[in-house]
Amino acid sequence: MINGYQKGDVAVKIEGRNYRLRLTLGSLAEIEARLGVKGPLELARKIRGFGDKNRSNDEAMTLLECLLCAQDRDGKTSVPNMVKRARPMDYMPAIATLFEETFA
């Protein structure tokens, strides 16, 4: 188990390291601001459309960056750069699971 794990967290592995995704009020507000959506329904519509060809990885990167738990950041890894090297669409199933478990 990853240190500091809380109920609702979803574990992901990026560049061989374990991280946690956690949806908090702060991360939800940041996601809404950065993606330009108002409220969870509009955000859900946007997330459902991530599989569409017209969606860029930028939005998926934003989600991944906002949901990574700060406690996992060791100061040696620049989270934004690590996220940019990641293939964020690979993490959409984990992100979807996080939202489903949080709002189920």
Domain extents in the chain: 16-103
Look-up of token digits 């489903």: 100
DSSP 8-state assignment for residue 68: B
Per-residue pLDDT reduced to its tens digit, 88-102: 778 888 888 888 888
pLDDT of 57-90, one tens digit each? 788 888 888 898 755 455 555 566 777 777 777 8
β partners of residue 14: 17
Nearest to 78 by CA among 61, 62, 59, 65: 65
Q: Enter the pTM of the model.
A: 0.76
